[in-house]
Chains A and B, each alone.
Chain A
């Protein structure tokens, strides 16, 4: 398995533009997580899905952020309109349905810069 795949790896955009980040989880994993990492705030959970259903989006900063998971192999995180303070590395992670707690496997991240 290629692991969690994210695209693009780097995105530079101007304030006000729409940004869409993509994630393909590891095949067979039931959970998908979106994280944001900045120097100031560290690694923060934005939202996670179980079997394609959003379970907890309390970490989503504001209405400009939205996430979807139309099927088990694909998820998007959209920012519209983007702002400079959204600049961060966005990680997607996936994990198995668990009886006991299992590790999350992280994708390589998307480095977003909003000018």
Chain B
């Protein structure tokens, strides 16, 4: 069965710290991996990764994919309290268009 596993499940840091969130996956016929940020409401899209070794970057956030080892990381540098959220990793399942989501990492950034 395809699966997506995120770690850690929960993380508490202080402002200014750098964090690394992990997502490992086992899916048949991998096509892409997506990262979402979920605050109090709906998930919002961060990155889509399709190729190994190519870093996607947006401000203090960056992400990279390793298709050989079947994982992705999401880095956040110089964290701010506004980064506090659940970060979800998702991978489309083979043969259809839905996504399998990981359980998420709950990040809390303290002042």
Residues of A within 8 A of B42 (CB): 4, 91, 106-109
B77 contacts chain A at the CB level, 8 A cutoff: no
Which among B56-64, B68-76, B92-100 touches the partner chain?
B92-100
Asked if B102 and A42 sit within 8 Å, CB to CB, the answer is yes
A44, A45, A55 interface centre (most CB from chain B within 10 Å): A45
**Interface 1/0 per residue, A47-72 and B, CB below 8 Å:** 01010000110010000000000000
- Nearest residue (CB) in B for A33 is B98
The residue of chain B having its C-beta at the shortest distance from the C-beta of A59 within the complex is B98
Q: Which residues of chain A are within 8 angstroms of B43 by Cβ–Cβ distance?
A: 43, 91, 106
Of residues 20 to 34 in B, which have CB atoms within 8 Å of A's CB atoms?
Answer: 31-32, 34
Q: Given A101-B31, A105-B45, A107-B42, are A31 and B104 neighbors across the interface (CB < 8 Å)?
A: no
6 CB < 8 A contacts A-B: A42-B101, A48-B97, A95-B97, A101-B50, A101-B92, A103-B34
Q: Residues on A close to B: CB < 8 A?
A: 4, 31, 33, 42-45, 48, 50, 55-56, 59, 91, 95, 98, 100-101, 103-109
